[in-house]
């Protein structure tokens, strides 16, 4: 009887010791952080893709997402301490899995927010029904060059229309500029010499004495303060400093009176008698 109680005590102690160890092993198996570290390490050590695919399916299921079988996955971004993975489960939209070297792990997606797998982003690993690696989407140099040329191809209609429109616009601007320059050149070459007297910012080459100006003012009619109109149609304007100038238009006469700008001066009417002194 004593031997029986001893044996029962030993069995009870073994059970009490085994229960915490078994529970701890279950916790480690269901701990997403540990599984994420395993996936991160496997990818860094270049473990066979089939092994990584199985662990990705387990990790997605731990987060209570549906994943019957991993059919494809893609290492979308591989950085020094962080890896982003796109995972395709059979019959479900894409999942996103992020694992890091410090134990960080995240699972998201499954609702269509992730874009489709594109082999131009990274290699895609595809698996058969038994879980073995069926193929990957590695691009050869020839295939990469061919796809790049296809994306840069400008043979579509709207591209040709855009290019022709831009070429036509540039040609039109160029022709318009040449025509404007040619017309200005012809007008300058064909202008009579006598018309150049009334150019902007050019003083009249004819000098008129103060007495002659007084005579012209006496012969003129006062239309505005310090502005007179001669019977010949010429306007005489007296500036702020007392200088009198001659203009064909009252506008330029008023401009000279107010602002002092000598624009479009003209030749004064002739005076038969003119003293020698000048102003």
pLDDT the model gives residue 133? 79
pLDDT the model gives residue 95? 94
pLDDT the model gives residue 273? 52
pLDDT the model gives residue 166? 87
Q: Are 216 and 210 spatial neighbours (Cβ–Cβ below 8 Å)?
A: no
> Domains of the chain: which residue ranges?
8-140, 197-259
CA of 111: how far to CAs of 94, 108, 226, in Å? 8, 9, 87
pLDDT the model gives residue 205? 40
List per-block mean pLDDT (blocks of 10 residues) for the chain, which spans 279 residues.
59 54 46 90 90 92 91 89 93 92 91 86 85 67 56 55 85 88 75 51 54 85 88 87 87 86 81 51
Note if the pTM is more than 0.75.
no
């Amino acid at each position: 009887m004593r031997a029986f109680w001893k044996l029962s005590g030993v069995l009870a102690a073994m059970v009490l010791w085994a229960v915490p160890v078994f529970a701890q092993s279950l916790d480690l198996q269901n701990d997403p952080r540990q599984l994420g570290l395993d996936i991160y390490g496997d990818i860094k050590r270049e473990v066979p893709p089939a092994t990584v695919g199985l662990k990705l399916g387990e990790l997605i299921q731990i987060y209570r997402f549906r994943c019957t079988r991993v059919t494809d996955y893609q290492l979308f971004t591989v950085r020094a301490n962080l890896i982003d993975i796109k995972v395709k489960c059979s019959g479900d939209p894409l999942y996103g899995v992020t694992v890091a070297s410090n134990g960080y792990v995240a699972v998201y997606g499954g609702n269509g927010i992730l874009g489709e797998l594109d082999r131009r982003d990274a290699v895609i690993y595809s698996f058969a029904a038994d879980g073995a690696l069926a193929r990957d989407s590695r691009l050869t140099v020839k295939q990469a060059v061919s796809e790049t040329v296809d994306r840069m191809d400008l043979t579509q209609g709207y591209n040709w229309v855009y290019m022709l429109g831009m070429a036509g616009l540039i040609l039109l601007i160029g022709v318009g500029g040449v025509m404007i320059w040619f017309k200005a050149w012809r007008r300058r070459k064909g202008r009579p010499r006598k018309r150049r007297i009334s150019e902007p910012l050019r003083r009249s080459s004819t000098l008129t004495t103060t007495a002659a100006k007084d005579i012209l003012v006496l012969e003129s009619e006062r239309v505005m303060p310090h502005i007179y109109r001669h019977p010949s149609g010429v306007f005489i304007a007296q500036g702020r400093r007392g200088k009198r100038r001659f203009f064909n238009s009252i506008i330029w006469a008023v401009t000279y009176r107010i602002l002092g700008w000598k624009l479009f001066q003209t030749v004064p009417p002739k005076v038969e008698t003119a003293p020698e002194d000048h102003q």
